[in-house]
Structure 1
Amino acid sequence: MKCPLCGEKTRVRDCREFRDSFKRYRECLVCLTRFVTYEKVDFETLWEVEK
């Protein structure tokens, strides 16, 4: 994921379950800005392929 301020790469400092999603604490590798993202799995797009 890219930093919202400078556009450089970020790293995940911590990840926790939050209700039905994940709360990820991120930090920019260049400007050291910290921010939080909420990520949710979209189960409607998952497919099962039979072989």
Structure 2
Amino acid sequence: MKLVAFERSVQGTGASRRLRNSGKTPGIIYGGKDAATVIELDHNAL
């Protein structure tokens, strides 16, 4: 499975709600030695 994700600069409840209202899905990538990265995905592509 391949996903196209974009890094986002804003985070929080309000920012996530605005993303959902615009047809996107917020997410977070954890793991490895790097810090967590906040992302956004196109809801229709999921």
TM-score, normalised with respect to structure 2: 0.39
TM-score, normalised with respect to structure 1: 0.36
**Structure showing the higher strand proportion among its residues:** 1
Higher-RCO chain (CA-CA 8 Å, sequence separation at least 6): 2
Whose Rg is larger? 1
**Structure showing the higher helix proportion among its residues:** 2
